[in-house]
Amino acid sequence: MFDLSGTAALVTGATGGLGGAIARALHAQGARVALSGTRRDALDALAAELGGDCPVLPCDLGDRGEVEGLVGRAEAALGSLDILVNNAGITRDGLAVRMRDEDWDRVLAVNLTSGFALARAALRGMMKRRHGRIIGITSVVGVTGNAGQANYAAAKAGMIGMSKSLAAEVASRGITVNCIAPGFIESPMTDALNEKQRSAILGSVPAGRLGTGAEIAAAAVYLASREAAYVTGQTLHVNGGMAMI
Amino acid sequence: MSDVEERVKKIVVEHLGVEPDKVVDNANFIDDLGADSLDTVELVMAFEEEFGVEIPDDAAETIVTVGDAVRFLEKNKKS
């Protein structure tokens, strides 16, 4: 089950903890994976780890011109594109009353607008081939909200609404569009928390632990698979029970 | 049959999977050839690619029959 042999995937934000885990998991299931991100050296290191056959496509998702070209570069490198994982995301946290316009704009541009532009570009080829998987990595805060993250939560909620709309438009073409909403996941950011902060977070998670990148990646593998062909417009919450929606 | 007409009909037959003899000048993509709204967008995109033209939305809305497409492309084609 969940064999991705013969498929081609593009993962944005592949140098991050989640993006790297997703790229590794898709690759392990047999997909060819193009790796995109902003740090060339980290992308090269991941490509080397995965064994060479992974095109490295540096791209600043805050730059409209670069975003417009990324899917074409991936299709040229891979010969096709079956799976798009919109994973890249940034935060510029701050309480709304103090939030600067540029922090709002930048988070929306990278976390939401780029995802739309990439999906729009990828859909052309997917519609012709009558097959495709678009997966957006959103967040539990896109559904619950979170103080200090008005920009980030808006972008993540926007991704869910966008994905549902795209799903309705292209379902008849064998293309599914879904989201994964992680809760608290182990990352360099959560490693830096002190014991008190950590126990406060864990108090809100019934599972009593943080999630792992591999657990998010497993959800991506499922949604990317042929077995998930009848699942579309959905958001799969992977959060240890911290929000049951 | 003109060159443009032939190329248009080929795209329509391939895309909509209909019998070539149904693809006549006054055949309406939606009512006669069974296209849905996404099919019509895909046809416009296929015409754009084949003829090297950009078909703006307001022009695309006026292309409802095979003949509409042929006449638009004969006037505007670049390749």
Which residue numbers of B have CB closer than 8 Å to A's CBs?
36, 38, 42, 45
Mean pLDDT calculated for residue range A226-239: 98
Assign A65 a pLDDT band (cuts: 50, 70, 90): very high
Distance in Å, alpha carbon of B1 to nearest chain A alpha carbon = 27
State the SS3 of chain A: CCCCCCCEEEECCCCCHHHHHHHHHHHHCCCEEEEEECCHHHHHHHHHHHCCCCCEEECCCCCHHHHHHHHHHHHHHHCCCCEEEECCCCCCCCCHHHCCHHHHHHHHHHHHHHHHHHHHHHHHHHHHHCCEEEEEECCCHHHHCCCCCHHHHHHHHHHHHHHHHHHHHHHHHCEEEEEEEECCECCHHHHCCCHHHHHHHHHCCCCCCCECHHHHHHHHHHHHCHHHCCCCCCEEEECCCCCCC
What pLDDT score does A103 carry? 97
- Chain B's closest residue to A170, CA to CA, is B38
A contact residues 141-170, partner B, Cβ 8 Å cutoff? 169-170
Q: What is the ipTM of this complex?
A: 0.82
Partnered with residue A136 across adjacent β-strands are A86, A179
The answer to whether B36 is a known catalytic residue is: yes
Residue in chain A nearest B14 by alpha carbon:
A128
- Summarised one tens digit per residue, pLDDT across range A21-36 is 999 999 999 999 999 9
Asked whether the CA dihedral B65, B69, B70, B72 is positive or negative, the reply is positive
| Domains, chain A, with CATH or none | 8-237 (3.40.50.720)
State pLDDT tens for residues A129-176.
999 999 999 999 999 999 999 999 999 999 999 999 999 999 999 999
Model pLDDT, residue B78: 77
The whole-number average pLDDT for the span A185-192 is: 82
Question: Are A169 and B38 in contact (CB < 8 Å)?
Answer: yes
Tokens representing B9 are 């009909």
Round the average pLDDT of chain A to a whole number and report it: 96
Q: State whether B36 and A172 contact (CB < 8 Å).
A: yes
pLDDT band per the 50, 70, 90 thresholds, residue A201: confident
Which helix (H) or strand (E) segment is B45 a member of? helix B37-51
Q: Above pLDDT 90, what percent of chain A?
A: 91
Residue to mutate among A128, A129, A177, with most B CBs inside 10 A, is A128
Chain B residues touching A173 at Cβ < 8 A:
38
Give A236's strand partners: A180
CATH architecture of B3-76: Orthogonal Bundle (1.10)
| pTM as predicted | 0.93
Q: How confident is the model at residue B2, as a pLDDT?
A: 85
For chain B, the domains span 3-76
